[in-house]
Structure 1
């Protein structure tokens, strides 16, 4: 049986994907896997992944480019592990990440960690979570809706049972699959917050998560989308408890 599945969406990530996968595979055991779903890369991302020739890597390709949200959704659906960790193609895992997150998932259904920036000291992390805030579920949901709770998919993991509520992603979800996971996690139970960063995020012009403030209309649309997502998550969580 597969213990851990690392879910990775790739798109034109040839410049970084080998470094990311190296930092991931160094921490995985023989019964773990990396589920890579490529979203129609136009560079040699796929060739670089295949060249690693690691049997723990399972590579799939989207027939058409569907965007990162749907690609992560597909990767989660293909995963076979009991524990699922997300990864971004352009980051680097911090040593000890796997053990820390697996231990946290022994207590909680969803885990999120602080995030550092590649090239900067790990402490203090650029995006910090406090362990004491994990049980404050209502506060965490409110801060997600406001846009100041730092849940990054590249620093999150979940138990397989969460997929019952998490999948499928709402059809209107065009971004922020990580915040969708944060909402679901907080509705199902406390999310484990790990203060130590588990990943060093690479900042560049093609980051999926914006590195600068967006326009007010864009922010308002994102808040409305997350409000709708919260309603969907609450409905699914209630339905799951009723079964």
Structure 2
């Protein structure tokens, strides 16, 4: 988990995670120099499975997630945001899918409504389908046009695949989740999990905003994603 000034919701999220974890699991929380007491709130929960690490300065959520993943030592790494709610059974569903294929991405719903997010491109409910898991090029094209519902908070990675995912490319300034999905597509190791494993809390401070981008920002993002595809393919070739 990456946290930053998340005191309003982080305790609820942590409790939902702990209820899913086994005795030998761990929750690594890397705090990105919060100023509102977020890490102290997490530590006060007092569960031995929690490990809190503080960034000495603010690095942004991409590098903070990268640091958290580097600190993990489990067979499968599940990512978590600071303000959502895990669905009962999430841990086992995502861990099994990632253990089988390498990288798993599941569906999610909005906390409070139980409705899926809607595609910003088509307006239809945004859902992953298991049958499209191996459609690597089609999935990547959906990423490039902004119509792929991959969210880091609903993803998991098997340990032996982590060297393909991390370290994140130096040019990656956002969308670590789309980078992970891109690696999965390039390695043909991505599994779409149709089960809902997360209730996503929508609020003004979400790192990913539903508001439309400006043209320059949108173009820069697409260029970054194209670079990510070539970098992912390079890493996969080098690992063979």
Q: TM-score, normalised by structure 2?
A: 0.94
Partners in 1 of 2:162 and 2:43 — Cα distance?
Answer: 28
Shift of 1:190: 3.6
User: Tell me, which stretches of 5 or more residues in structure 2 are unaligned?
Assistant: 119-124
Deviations 1:167-192 (A, max 9, x none): 11111111000000000011112411
1:3 maps to none
Counterpart pick for 2:64 among 60, 65, 71:
71
**Quick check: 32-41 or 203-212, which moved more?**
203-212
User: Tell me, which stretches of 5 or more residues in structure 1 are unaligned?
Assistant: 1-7
Shift of 1:77: 0.4
Alpha-carbon spacing, 1:14–1:189, altered in 2? closer, same or farther (3 Å)? same
Task: Please show how residues 159-170 of structure 1 align to structure 2 within 5 Å.
Answer: 159-170=158-169
Correspondence 1:197 to 2:196: yes
SS, match of residue 173 in structure 1: coil
1:214 maps to 213
CA RMSD of aligned residues (A): 1.3
2:7 maps to 14
Conserved in 2, the CA contact under 8 Å of 1:116 and 1:127?
Answer: no
Conserved in 1, the CA contact under 8 Å of 2:129 and 2:194?
Answer: yes
Correspondence 1:23 to 2:16: yes
Correspondence 1:42 to 2:41: no
Counterpart pick for 1:91 among 84, 91, 106:
84
Conserved in 2, the CA contact under 8 Å of 1:122 and 1:197?
Answer: no
SS, match of residue 106 in structure 1: helix
Partners in 2 of 1:50 and 1:127 — Cα distance?
Answer: 35
Which stretches of structure 1, 4 residues or longer, exceed 6 Å deviation after superposition? none
SS, match of residue 75 in structure 1: helix
Shift of 1:213: 1.6
Shift of 1:122: 5.1
1:183 maps to 182
Conserved in 1, the CA contact under 8 Å of 2:76 and 2:99?
Answer: no
Count of aligned residue pairs for this structure pair:
234
Partners in 2 of 1:198 and 1:127 — Cα distance?
Answer: 14
Partners in 2 of 1:17 and 1:189 — Cα distance?
Answer: 34
2:113 maps to 120
Shift of 1:44: 1.2
Partners in 2 of 1:124 and 1:86 — Cα distance?
Answer: 19
